[in-house]
Amino acid sequence: MSRMMQKWVVAQPGVQHLNIEESPVPTPAANEILVRVSAVSLNYRDLGVIAGEDGAPSMPFPLTPGSDMAGVVVAAGENVTRFREGDEVIGTFWAGWIDGDWPEHARVVGGKLPGVLAEYIVLHEDWAVHAPRSLDAVRASTLPCAGLTAWFALVEKGALHAGQTVVVQGTGGVALFGLQLARAHGAEVIVTSSSRDKLARALALGATHAIDRLEHPRWDELVRELTGGRGADHVFELAGGDNLGASLRALRQGGRISLIGVLGELSMTLPSVPSFLTRPVIQGIGVGHRRALEALVRAVDATKIEPVVDTAYSFHKLPEALQHLERGAFGKVVVKMVG
């Protein structure tokens, strides 16, 4: 009789349709690895996938959600060369984006492809990298999406360097990775938040300045003041809508805005003439490729950055973890599978 395992399944769109199911532990085929999952880091996107809002018509319900995991290789199929049994790994967010331009055949794990909220998963060996040596599984699980997104925006595509100023909006997963990576590179960081308590925690984490965005809806004016009128070199656009106009006003001439998030609205608008005069470099970010994830892992080991995990919930507490994500966490919310 085959060994059984538990996994979360959402039968049809809606968090109320999430249930734990039993199924046989899968067997890795050629070029696949069987991974015992240790921790799964949740992303804002997971809420949309479970609710059926994220590409729902083409989502293969019933589905197992979750994109980001850290785990241990417990078996390898034929011809596997990248990993051995016992290796600690983290998955890639994109299955099939290895380097260079995003290939159209790439799919997201935990969307079109089965997700990682399961005790065991099989992955093509190309869809995983060695985990950082310096992090436990809970922290390591946060790198594939939130960590890589910030790295791709600032380092892979952003030419970040010491002396620059980076603005991050809010204190969620992507924003705090941006903060930590920017500080590790010698840049200054201005963080905006709706919570005074979270601003204090961001300052303790190394932010140079903190702006209460509820108290200062024109937070861009404060950014200009804090940068001596020059404006910021990099801005993470995480909210969408008219907020992009504020990001532009906060930017120095020729500075860079990374279009990343839609926490407020799905579309983004810019005023035309100020855009001409500011000459922004506007780059869209779609997480990133495997080569950059490997570079981030090396950087984390070298700098000893410790990703910020607000709370780690047990496997059975996924619904509570999702509610926390919806309320807004300081950094990441993680589901811990073992121990």
CA distance 334 to 331: 10
Q: Does residue 120 belong to the site contacting ligand NAP (CB under 6 A)? A: no
CA distance 1 to 28: 17
User: Phi/psi at 281 (nearest 5 deg)?
Assistant: -90, 115
CA distance 63 to 56: 11
Residues linked to residue 113 through DSSP beta bridges, in sequence order: 109
Compare residues 87 and 242 and give the one whose CB is closer to ligand NAP. Answer: 242
Q: Does residue 194 belong to the site contacting ligand NAP (CB under 6 A)? A: yes
Closest approach of Cβ 149 to ligand NAP, in Å?
Answer: 4
- Of 195, 275, 283, 311, the residue at the interface with ligand NAP (CB under 6 A) is 195
Interacting positions 158-177 with ligand NAP (CB under 6 A): 169-175
Q: Mask of contacts with ligand NAP, 285-304, x by CB under 6 A?
A: xxx-----------------
Compare residues 13 and 48 and give the one whose CB is closer to ligand NAP. Answer: 48
> Nearest 5 degrees, angle CA 44-CA 98-CA 34?
75
**Residue 72 contacts residue 114 (beta carbons within 8 Å):** no
Q: Mask of contacts with ligand NAP, 228-257, x by CB under 6 A?
A: ----------xx------------------
Q: DSSP alpha helices (H): ranges in the chain?
A: 44-51, 137-140, 148-151, 173-184, 196-204, 219-226, 243-249, 272-278, 290-303, 318-327
Q: Does residue 308 belong to the site contacting ligand NAP (CB under 6 A)? A: no
Closest approach of Cβ 2 to ligand NAP, in Å?
Answer: 36
Q: Does residue 145 belong to the site contacting ligand NAP (CB under 6 A)? A: yes
Q: Does residue 37 belong to the site contacting ligand NAP (CB under 6 A)? A: no
Q: Which stretch binds ligand NAP (CB under 6 A): 1-9, 42-50, 56-64, 216-224?
A: 42-50
Q: Which residue, 67, 65, 53, 61, is CA-closest to 11?
A: 61
Tell me the pairing of strands 107-108 and 88-91: unpaired
Compare residues 174 and 207 and give the one whose CB is closer to ligand NAP. Answer: 174
Q: Does residue 282 belong to the site contacting ligand NAP (CB under 6 A)? A: no
Strand, helix or coil for residue 281:
strand
Closest approach of Cβ 321 to ligand NAP, in Å?
Answer: 12
Q: Does residue 45 belong to the site contacting ligand NAP (CB under 6 A)? A: yes
CA distance 69 to 33: 14
CA distance 261 to 118: 27
Q: Which stretch binds ligand NAP (CB under 6 A): 69-77, 94-102, 193-201, 313-321?
A: 193-201
Which residue ranges make up the site for ligand NAP (CB under 6 A)?
43-45, 145-146, 149, 169-175, 193-195, 198, 238-239, 260-264, 285-287, 325, 328-329
